[in-house]
Amino acid sequence: MSDKPTETVTIQRRTFFKMAMDTQEYVSDVTPSYEFIQKVRNRGGDIFTFLERKSCGTIPNPAESWAKTEDNVALLHVTTYKEWLRIIGKKTRNMIRKAEKSGIRTEIAVSGDRLAEGVWKIFNETPIRQERGFPHYGTTLETVKKGLLSQSDCTYVGAYYQDELVGFIHLIHGNNVSIISQILSLQKHWDKAINNALVAKTIDLCASKHIEWIMYGRIGNHPSLDNFKQNNGFQKLTLTRYYIPLTRKGRMAIKLRLHREVKDVLPQSMKKPLFPIYNWISRTRMKIRLLMKQNFST
């Protein structure tokens, strides 16, 4: 197995142990060598987790000590834009036409102050999106500008209405795959089917660059978003997630089955009635956060 730097590895606390994960696991293959595992352990990780990207290649001879579970991604195999239009439903095609008739124009956005200001405006339009608290609400313009400057191997696809940025897709490019990291639009213009237009432009872009796969997060934890993905041709691909115990704590956590998050353990039949409760908790947390911020500022 080839070695790989650990700069992109993040470590998060989980009850009594720490979980390490490579933030680039969706972009490139992760095949941890002995040296890599030692470096992650030295940084304080108790368990290292990573995905096998089956669409791009499999991991040969995984160690027997590695625990494994099922994970998934929403994946679209790209051939041509014309073929994509053929496989999606009539309703989605009509939404794309609706965006065009509404005056929505899509193009690759040029990085700079104009893009930063547009993204910042969309971030701060509303604290609630898709019935949940929106984590980017309150982000400063300076933070957005720094974020744009620090990014590489990515593309912003912008949607414009009367020369105003009203939506965007943040597309990260990896090994034989492009990842939709974020897709957002102004809620006041949602009647114009902006997100459908953005996805269509992204498919056209990737097809022209002969990018074979587009990934759009996971499927199973957000019903309305899952429907949007499936309506645009994305399918659920089951993947293997590996967990490598690095310390005694890590081995104990895996033995006690604490290495997986609750949302990934619950069957879909149990998740469905819990979604409204989770959404309410998320909205309430955001309201409390805004109230505390307001009281602190006064």
Q: What is the pLDDT of residues 133-167, one digit of tens each?
A: 999 999 999 999 999 888 888 999 999 999 999 99
pLDDT band at 4 (very low <50, low <70, confident <90, very high): low
Residue 3 has pLDDT above 60, yes or no: no
Contact between 59 and 82 (Cβ < 8 Å) = no
pTM over 0.95: no
- Of 52, 81, 56, the closest CA to residue 68 belongs to 52
Parallel/antiparallel/unpaired status of strands 9-14 and 17-22: antiparallel
Residue 115 has pLDDT above 90, yes or no: yes
* Integer Cα distance of 294 and 298 in angstroms: 6
pLDDT at 298: 61
- Of 201, 232, 231, 169, the closest CA to residue 100 belongs to 201
SS (H, E, C) the chain: CCCCCCCCEEEEEECCEEEEEECCCCCCCCCCCHHHHHHHHHCCCCEEEEEECCCCCCCCCCCCCCEEEEEEEEEEECCCHHHHHHHCCHHHHHHHHHHHHCCEEEEECCCCHHHHHHHHHHHCCCCEECCEECCCCCCCHHHHHHHHHHCCCEEEEEEEECCEEEEEEEEEECCCEEEEEEEEECHHHHHHCHHHHHHHHHHHHHHHCCCCEEECCCCCCCHHHHHHHHHCCCEEEEEEEEEEECCHHHHHHHHCCCCCCHHHHCCHHHHHHHHHHHHHHHHHHHHHHHHHHHHHHC
Residue 53 has pLDDT above 80, yes or no: no
- Of 138, 130, 207, 216, the closest CA to residue 170 belongs to 216
Residue 277 has pLDDT above 70, yes or no: yes
Our measurement of the distance from residue 11's CA atom to the centroid of its chain's CA atoms, rounded to an integer in Å, reads 18
pLDDT band at 5 (very low <50, low <70, confident <90, very high): low
CATH of domain 79-211: 3.40.630.30
pLDDT band at 27 (very low <50, low <70, confident <90, very high): confident
Stretch 27-51: mean pLDDT: 89
What residue segments make up the domains of the chain, in order of their start? Answer: 9-74+238-265, 79-211
pLDDT band at 258 (very low <50, low <70, confident <90, very high): very high
Read off φ and ψ for residue 35, nearest 5 degrees: -65, -40
Q: What is the pLDDT of residues 175-184, one digit of tens each?
A: 888 999 999 9
pLDDT, mean over the chain? 91
Q: What is the pLDDT of residues 186-235, one digit of tens each?
A: 999 999 999 999 999 999 999 999 999 999 999 988 889 999 999 999 99
pLDDT band at 19 (very low <50, low <70, confident <90, very high): very high
Contact between 109 and 115 (Cβ < 8 Å) = yes
pLDDT at 265: 78
Stretch 73-87: mean pLDDT: 95
pLDDT at 2: 43
15-19, 63-67, 73-77: which range is least confident on average?
63-67
For the record, the structure tokens of 189 come out as: 């213009």
